Amino acid sequence: MSHILLRHRDIPEISSLNVYRKNGGFEAFKKAVTKMKPGQVTDLVKASGLRGRGGAGFPTGVKWSFIDNKVWPHYVVANADESEPGTFKDREIMESNPFQFLEGVAIASYAVGANTAYVYLRGEFWQAAQFLDEKIAELEKAGLLGGRLFGTNYSLRIHTHLGAGAYICGEETAMLESIEGKRGQPRIRPPFPAVCGLYGKPTVVNNVETLTNLPMILANGADWYKSLGTPDSAGVKVFSLSGRVRKPGNYELPFGTTFRQLIYDHGGGVQDGRPVKAIMPAGASSSFIVANDQVLDTKMDYASVRTLGADLGSASVIVIDDTVPLDWVIHKTIHFFKHESCGKCTPCREGTYWMMHLIDRIPQSGYLKADVDLLLNVATQMQNKCLCPLGEFSTMAVVTGIERFPQDFRKA
């Protein structure tokens, strides 16, 4: 099957506007602007069953329909922060299939009546930002972005905005703060961005991959998209596969592909032929799944993964084999979250620091049970108390690691 998102793998030079347009590029956007009302675009996206690819999996069309039409202007922000360890799909899309992504931004903007859209990239993506700037300039020159598009009254400008290297800015409200030039820290929700977002105005924040789906959905229809994937999770997903696999990388597959298919058929299996011990399906903020045959044959869609006590999230599948002790893995995740906690709320700021001390001393103290119990207790104590979801994320690996792999936290 040919790719829907990673189309550059099928069509050489799709990152040039000519090639992109020869392959139907910007027809979808043109159709939306000239032939559809914004509400119709939203309804179509609702009908397609497209869900947010940033991790939360919230239905995209529904999110758009929350936008407050009494307050103007509206904004669209493309979340290209991609900071989750183990996630590297948005970068490939932006670097290799940039126009499809930008067309997606344009369609979303039209759907919610935004005349300004921002692409927020993590600071390390400065080359991608430059690249997108060039592409945006090309689009403006070609009359596909700018004022009075396709002879209508609709106009749209897209700007890129670079972050300064903070994980938290992938959280949508922290991202908005950052675009406003403030310290990147999450806001209290509610109000949600759809009501009070960028500069206090109604704002839609969508992930890069989510947006990149839109041109194809508009071109081929909701039913076509729904026919891909599972009833609960329509369409395709780019799975970022990493860890102890032979062929790590991005794999665009329909929802419902099993872990086994991803790891063995596409990823070439585990290095040295070792057995899979644990899977982190959503990067560093995942729960650990205890791998076994039944798990490996589980379909990767939002509902099925939840039955394994984890979330599919951004589908950044990290494979852990039996050579890797889990206390080592959570040592990595805890240090990451301790470093990246924004410091705004107490449980995350203090809890990650405390967990760091505990995980540092646990191997040194010979896996003292009291320390392991305390670590589990501290992580549990952080849960349901943080200001934003990222604080909670820092505890997922810790809690599930200790609970599901107790042998890794005992003296050998």
Q: Which residues bind other proteins (CB under 8 A)?
A: 166, 168, 183, 188, 338-347, 349-354, 357, 374, 381-382, 384-387
CB of 381 to other proteins, least distance (A): 5
Q: Which is nearer to other proteins, 117 or 355 (CB)?
A: 355
Q: Answer whether 247's CB lies under 8 Å from 267's CB.
A: yes
With CA atoms as reference, report the closest residue to 114 among 32, 4, 209. 32
Q: Which is nearer to other proteins, 312 or 386 (CB)?
A: 386
Name the CA radius of gyration of the chain, rounded. 22
Q: Which is nearer to other proteins, 155 or 384 (CB)?
A: 384
Q: Where are the beta strands (DSSP E) in 13-146?
A: 74-80, 114-121
Q: Which is nearer to other proteins, 11 or 356 (CB)?
A: 356
Q: Which is nearer to other proteins, 246 or 385 (CB)?
A: 385
Using CA atoms, how far residue 263 sits from 46, 127, 155, 268, 320, in Å, is 31, 31, 45, 6, 11
Tell me whether residue 384 is exposed, middle or buried, using C-beta atoms within 10 angstroms of its C-beta: 0 to 12, 13 to 18, 19 or more: exposed
CB of 346 to other proteins, least distance (A): 5
Copy the structure tokens of residue 72.
């103007």
User: CA geometry: angle at 137 spanning 131 and 142, to 5°?
Assistant: 130
d(CA 369, CA 359): 12
Phi-psi region of 102 (alpha: psi -120 to 50; beta: other; left: phi over 0): alpha
d(CA 67, CA 114): 11
Element (H, E) at 61: helix 60-65
State the SS3 of 255-287: CCCEHHHHHHHHCCCEHHHCCEEEEECEHHHCC
Neighbours of 151 (CB within 10 A): 9
Phi-psi region of 308 (alpha: psi -120 to 50; beta: other; left: phi over 0): alpha
Copy the structure tokens of residue 86.
């183990």
Neighbours of 141 (CB within 10 A): 11
Can you state the percent helix, strand and coil of the chain, rounding each to 5? 50, 15, 35
Q: Which is nearer to other proteins, 15 or 352 (CB)?
A: 352
d(CA 316, CA 330): 16
Q: Which is nearer to other proteins, 104 or 391 (CB)?
A: 391
Residue recorded with tokens 């320390």: 371
